[in-house]
Chains A and B, each alone.
Chain A
Amino acid sequence: KQEVTQIPAALSVPEGENLVLNCSFTDSAIYNLQWFRQDPGKGLTSLLLIQSSQREQTSGRLNASLDKSSGRSTLYIAASQPGDSATYLCAPLQGGSEKLVFGKGTKLTVNP
């Protein structure tokens, strides 16, 4: 059964810092992996999808990497802003399945 762990659980940084959020998963048989942000009491906003055959995917200040064989993905946020404050979730798409399996997320606070 796929288990997804995100470290750290919470992170507080000053505005302008570059930061890395980590995601690990136990079953490397995945089709792809999505990163989402969730604002308090709100839905999930898809940030990036990275295919299992890709190593990296970029969107603006965000860069996601994937090392499928070691069961790891990272989300790099450059030049963080207070508006980046949210919970970030990673979710691999399980092989042989259509379901995303979510971690508990990393709660990011960017202080002005």
Chain B
Amino acid sequence: EPEVTQTPSHQVTQMGQEVILRCVPISNHLYFYWYRQILGQKVEFLVSFYNNEISEKSEIFDDQFSVERPDGSNFTLKIRSTKLEDSAMYFCASSVRWAPLGNEQFFGPGTRLTVL
């Protein structure tokens, strides 16, 4: 069964460093998302992406964050200068069509980011 994959599973970085989290969405999916979950807290939406553009972003997704689909399969989240409070589990998700039309969002296993 097709699934969303994410690499690495765990990333440790120093404060102020740039990190890139990678995702491979399900192959026929067109809509892509990033969410994060700080330990012990709710899963929070960061950004949605379609047709090589950001379609929606939350207030968390500030200028330190960017997303890209560099090729036909990968979807990346870049954090330019990491802060301690960026430590969280980051989840990538994808859906076949625009989610409001009724398609499920399928989530990857997550990347645990630890900022020291």
Contacts and interface: CB of A to CB of B under 8 A. Distances in A.
A11 interface: no
Given A98-B56, A99-B58, A104-B42, A93 B99 contact: yes
- Most chain B CB inside 10 Å of its own CB: which residue of A4, A95, A98: A98
Interface in B69-115: 91, 98-100, 102-110, 112
Contacts of B65: none
B109 A98 contact: no
B45 A32 contact: no
Give the interface size bracket for A toward B: 20 to 34
Interface stretch (A19-27, A44-52, A65-73): A44-52
Contacts, number: 62
A12 interface: no
Contact of B100 (A43, A45, A93, A103): A93
A4 B43 CA distance: 11
Contacts of A100: 35, 43, 45, 99, 105
Interface string B12-24: 0000000000000
Give the interface size bracket for B toward A: 20 to 34
Interface in A13-64: 31-32, 34, 36, 41-46, 49, 51
19 contacts: A4-B42, A32-B99, A32-B100, A32-B102, A44-B91, A46-B104, A49-B102, A49-B104, A89-B43, A95-B100, A98-B48, A98-B55, A98-B99, A99-B48, A99-B56, A100-B45, A101-B45, A102-B44, A104-B41
